[in-house]
Chains A and B, each alone.
Chain A
Amino acid sequence: MLKVEGLNVFYGDMQALWDVSFEVRPKEVLVLLGANGAGKSTILRTLSGLSCAAEGSVTFNGVRLDQIPADKIIQHGLVHVPEGRRLFPDMTVEENLIMGSLAPEPKRRRQKTLERVYGLFPRLRERMGQYAGTLSGGEQQMVAVGRGLMGLPKILMLDEPSLGLSPLLAQEIFKIIRLINSEGVTILLVEQNVKQSLKVCNRAYVLENGRITLSGTGEQLSSNDHVKQAYLGI
C-alpha cells in the first residue's frame, strides 16, 4: 500500500535517516519504535512532504508522494497527525476539526464525518465552541486525532499520540486507535511507549540512530532480547 525505499534525509549537514526502507500493508497497525532522536518524526515528516528526502522514494498506491508538494499529500489519503498536536490554538475545537476536511471529498462528507468524530470523542462535542489552546493535553490530542480523521485517511500517521498524557489517558488513546483501525483505516504509529504499542500493533520496525535495525510482528519483538533490554527494561 505504502512503500518507502532507501530514504536518506538530511538536516543541513547532519544525516537524520540512513537508507530507510519499509512498507505499510492494508488495514494493519504498523509501529515505528525508537528512542528520542532516532528519526521517527523525520520519517513521518518526509512521508507528508514537510521534509525532503535527498535520496529514496515514497510510493502510495502507485503515486510517488516524494514528488508532490506537502499541501497535496492529504488529498491522496495519507494524513499526518504531527508530534505535539499542532492545533490552531486561536480557533475553536469545531473549526480545528473542519480544517482537517478541506480537500474536495472530505469537504463533501464534512457533516457526516464530524458526527462520527463526535461519536468517537463525546467530550469534543461538549467543547466544540472552546478555543483549542485552552484545552487540556488529553482533549487536545483528541482534537488532533479527530482533525486527522476529518481528512478521511486511508493511512493515518500518528506521531507519539500518548506523549505527555497520563497512563490512563494514553490507554484511552490506544483504545481509540484500535477502534479506528477496526473501521478500516490503516495506522502508522510512531511511539516511545513500547509496551503499549507492541500490544496494539500487527508489525513493528525498530529505528536506531536513523537506521532500521529490527522488524517483526508485535509478539516477535516483545520477546526479542535486544528490545526487552533496550526498550522494555526487562
Chain B
Amino acid sequence: MDLFLQTLVSGFLKGGLYALIGMGMTLIMGVMGIINLAHGQIMMVGMYITYSLFALYGVDPYLSLFVSMPAIFVLGVTIQKYLLNPLLRAETILPENQVLMTVGVGMVLTEVMRFIFTSDYKSARTSYSNATFFLGEISFSVPLVIDLFIAIMMTVALFLFLVKTDTGKSIRATAQDKEAASLMGINAERITYITFGLGSALVAAAGTLLMPIFYLFPDIGGPFTRKAFVICVLGGLGSTVGAIFGGITLGLAEAFGATYVAMEFEDMIGLVMFILVLLFLPGGFKRITKI
C-alpha cells in the first residue's frame, strides 16, 4: 500500500511539470494549428540559460525563472515571426511545411547548444536538490513539491490571462475562428507571436523547474518534444485543460510503469498510451471544459 501511495505521489508531482510542458504545446496547436516539434528543444535552451546562470553566477534555479521565461518568450516570438509566418505567405508551400520548419529549428537549437556547451552532462545541484520530507511513510522530494506549487500558480495565471484579459480572449477567439477574429479588429499575426512566445515561455519554465533535480545535455530536447506530443494527444489537441489531465496522466503512467513493470519501460509507457489513446479514445480528454 505504501509503495502504491509513494508511486501515486511521485507520479502526480512529475505530472504537474508535464502539464506545464503540454499546455505550452497545446496553446500553439490551438491557435496556429501546427505541432511544434521544437518544443522540447526550446525547453532545453531554457535549461541551459538556467544552468549558465547557476554555474557562472550561482543564481538559484528558481530565481532564474525571471530570466529564462522572458528570454525564451523572445526566442519564441522570433521563431514565429521570422521562420514560421513567412512560410504562410508563400502560396506554393503546404501548411505542413511549418511543422517541418519546427523540426529544423529543433535541430539547429540542439547543435548550437552542443557547440557552446559540448555534449557533456550538466546539472545544477543545490543544497535542496536531494532534500525530502515525510508524511507518514511517504517521502516527498522538496524540489518537486516546490515545482508543483509553482506549476499550479503558473497554470492559474495562464487561465486568468486567457479568460480575463482582452489579449487572452483574443488568443482564444483566433483559435476558434481566425476570420471572425480579424473582423473584431484582432491582428492575427500579433496573436501568433504572442502565442508562440507564451507557449515557449511555459515550457522554458518547466525546464527551469527541472534543473535542480535533472541533468542536462543537448539531446534532451527530443524526448521532451515526444512527451509533450503524447500529453497533447491524451488531452485532446489544442485543449488547455486537457493538457493538464494529459500531463498528470502521463506522470502517473510513467511512475506506475517504472514501479510495477520495469524501470526501463518508463519512457515506453507514454508511447504505448499514445497509441492506445489514438486507437480507442481519439480526441482525448477534450471538451471537459472549453478552454
- A residues whose Cβ falls under 8 Å from a Cβ of B: 48-50, 69-75, 80, 82, 86-91, 95, 98-100, 102-103, 107, 131, 147, 151
Chain B 141-183 interface mask (CB, 8 Å, partner A; 1/0):
0000000000000000000000000100110110011011111
Asked if A50 and B183 make an inter-chain contact with CB atoms under 8 angstroms apart, the answer reads: yes
The interface size of chain B toward A, counting residues with CB under 8 Å, comes to: 19
Asked if B179 and A50 make an inter-chain contact with CB atoms under 8 angstroms apart, the answer reads: yes
State how many angstroms separate the Cβ of B205 from the closest Cβ of chain A.
26
Where chain B touches its partner, the secondary structure class is: helix
Asked if A86 and B179 make an inter-chain contact with CB atoms under 8 angstroms apart, the answer reads: yes
CA of A151 to CA of B172, assembled, Å: 19
Asked if A86 and B185 make an inter-chain contact with CB atoms under 8 angstroms apart, the answer reads: no
Q: Which 7 A-B pairs have the closest CB atoms?
A: A90-B290, A86-B180, A74-B185, A88-B176, A70-B182, A71-B187, A71-B182
The interface residues of chain A lying within 8 Å CB-to-CB of B185 are 71-75, 102-103, 151
The interface residues of chain A lying within 8 Å CB-to-CB of B172 are 88, 90-91
The interface residues of chain A lying within 8 Å CB-to-CB of B186 are 71, 102
State how many angstroms separate the Cβ of A66 from the closest Cβ of chain B.
16
Residue of A nearest to B191 (CB): A71
The interface residues of chain A lying within 8 Å CB-to-CB of B170 are 99, 102
Asked if A102 and B184 make an inter-chain contact with CB atoms under 8 angstroms apart, the answer reads: yes
CA of A44 to CA of B173, assembled, Å: 21
Q: Which residue of B176, B182, B183 is within 8 Å of A91 (Cβ)?
A: B176
Asked if B173 and A99 make an inter-chain contact with CB atoms under 8 angstroms apart, the answer reads: yes
CA of A126 to CA of B186, assembled, Å: 28
The interface residues of chain B lying within 8 Å CB-to-CB of A91 are 169, 172-173, 176, 290
State how many angstroms separate the Cβ of B53 from the closest Cβ of chain A.
38
Tell me if B269 is interfacial: C-beta within 8 Å of chain A. no
Asked if A88 and B173 make an inter-chain contact with CB atoms under 8 angstroms apart, the answer reads: yes
Asked if A107 and B166 make an inter-chain contact with CB atoms under 8 angstroms apart, the answer reads: yes
- B residues whose Cβ falls under 8 Å from a Cβ of A: 166, 169-170, 172-173, 176-177, 179-188, 290-291
Asked if B180 and A74 make an inter-chain contact with CB atoms under 8 angstroms apart, the answer reads: no
Seed contacts A86-B177, A88-B172, A151-B184; 12 additional CB < 8 Å A-B pairs = A48-B183, A70-B182, A71-B188, A74-B183, A86-B179, A86-B180, A88-B181, A90-B176, A91-B169, A99-B170, A107-B166, A131-B290
State how many angstroms separate the Cβ of A188 from the closest Cβ of chain B.
14
The interface residues of chain B lying within 8 Å CB-to-CB of A131 are 290
Q: Which residue of A72, A82, A102, A103 is within 8 Å of B180 (Cβ)?
A: A82
State how many angstroms separate the Cβ of B229 from the closest Cβ of chain A.
23
The interface residues of chain A lying within 8 Å CB-to-CB of B187 are 69, 71
The interface residues of chain A lying within 8 Å CB-to-CB of B166 are 98, 102, 107
Show 28 A/B contacts (Cβ-Cβ < 8 Å), sorted by A: A50-B182, A69-B187, A70-B183, A71-B182, A71-B186, A72-B185, A74-B183, A74-B184, A75-B185, A80-B183, A82-B180, A86-B177, A86-B179, A88-B176, A89-B176, A89-B177, A90-B172, A90-B176, A91-B290, A95-B169, A98-B169, A99-B169, A99-B170, A99-B184, A100-B184, A102-B186, A103-B185, A107-B166
CA of A73 to CA of B179, assembled, Å: 13
The interface residues of chain A lying within 8 Å CB-to-CB of B173 are 88, 91, 99
CA of A131 to CA of B183, assembled, Å: 20
